[in-house]
Amino acid sequence: MYKLKEIADKVYYVGVNDRQKPLFENMWPLPYGVSYNSYLIVDEKTVLVDTVDVCYSDIFLKKIADALEGRPLDYLIVNHMEPDHAGSIRLLRQQYPHVQIIGNSKTFGMLEGFHGITEGLYEVKEGDSLAVGHHVFHFYMTPMVHWPEVMMTYDATDKILFSADAFGTYGTLNGGVIDTEMNVDLYWEEMIRYYANIVGKYGNPVQKALQKLAGLEIETICSTHGPVWRTHKEKAIAIYDQLSRYEGEEGAVIIYGSMYGHTEQMAEAIAYSLSAHGVKNIVMHNVSKTHASYVLKDVFKYKAVIVGSPTYSNQLFPEVESILHKIQHREIKNRLYGYFGSFTWAGAAVKRLAAYGEEMKWETVGMPVEQKQGMQTDNYAACLELGKAMAEKLKMKN
């Protein structure tokens, strides 16, 4: 029944689209949905690479059956055990009881924990190979990209890298599967947001994985989310390389909270000054309105981070404190940092923002601005000076 997309000779896309789920991991907005990608190789032996979320197992299993045309499924390669990719393994094993499940030792511990499966396992280690006829697979361990059991599988025959979550994006596949079949503009920002939300903490493991894979001749990247990368594979790799090195583009993210608009006026003045001194990429996030997912994306994307907060019960404004914790959790390095705040009768926000910059080991730029009650001429001038200092520093860095 299903017309399946052929990625290469007898390599089929059997993934599904999720247009229902509002939040990925029950945290991150999915305005464009998300795909769960799985791939089937029909050779002398048949091989499935990863499964899909259990919510879509009926469609998924029907696609596999249509492609196999009555043949058994010989192998399942499990590159990643997260439930959005491994959720259908138990049902798949029920459908194909003799399938051998290929993974590493850490995979098998999770396989037992999630699905109670302990038999019919085929363990692989770093550099192991498996020939299934025309296709020959090589296995590379890439732990903490972004779970400890993650590995990637390289099809040496068609030069395809099955990359688990690496190089993945939010966003469904709307008809096309391979990047040559679609306008991919939407996916670049969604790739950065996906990385910032999901992978961001693990820059060093991503760098190690990129170095390990650097010697492979890769013509196609088959991630578990988003398009199959072929024409744009170098760009996908370059984005992951830049993000995992914490190398921000020239630009500034202004993150602020404001109860009655006074702190927001300070943010506006800083943004005006940045623009007046030549910074074109300026993003402003009111933390009471913007979801943390998008704030994190821009903090990863741009070099300068400027944070403003009113004092709230002798602390930071709660939503500012929340996003700063999420940034800190991802251990984002090498940022230029500016900060400002306001108070009515007792100031604390600026002092706490100063301590945050020290904890993050970011380079503080310009003089912080602290405002008591409403905007005054001297405070406005100080905000302009902070914006100017950051703009000049950005121009020096790039």
Task: Look at residue 376 and tell me whether its pLDDT is greater than 90.
Answer: no
Element (H, E) at 210: helix 203-213
More confident residue, 41 or 343: 41
Ranges 71-85, 218-232, 365-379: which has the least confidence: 365-379
Give pLDDT tens digits for 276-331: 999 999 999 999 999 999 999 999 999 999 999 999 998 899 999 999 999 999 99
Q: What per-residue confidence (pLDDT) applies to 345?
A: 83
More confident residue, 371 or 89: 89
- Average pLDDT, integer, range 197-216: 96
- Average pLDDT, integer, range 173-190: 97
Percent of the chain with pLDDT over 70: 99
Domains in the chain, please, with CATH?
5-244 (3.60.15.10), 249-397 (3.40.50.360)
Q: What per-residue confidence (pLDDT) applies to 29?
A: 98
Task: Look at residue 398 and tell me whether its pLDDT is greater than 70.
Answer: no
Q: What per-residue confidence (pLDDT) applies to 343?
A: 83
CA 288 – CA 271 distance, rounded (Å): 18
- Average pLDDT, integer, range 160-175: 98
Sorted by sequence, the CB contacts under 8 Å of residue 157 that are 6+ apart come out as 134, 135, 136
Q: What per-residue confidence (pLDDT) applies to 347?
A: 80
210-224 CB burial, b ≥16 within 10 A, e <16: beebeeeebebbbbb
CA 43 – CA 52 distance, rounded (Å): 22
Q: What per-residue confidence (pLDDT) applies to 397?
A: 58
pLDDT, the chain, mean? 96
- Average pLDDT, integer, range 14-34: 98
Percent of the chain with pLDDT over 90: 94
| DSSP code at position 171 | B
Contact 241, 210 (CB under 8 A): yes
Q: What per-residue confidence (pLDDT) applies to 125?
A: 97
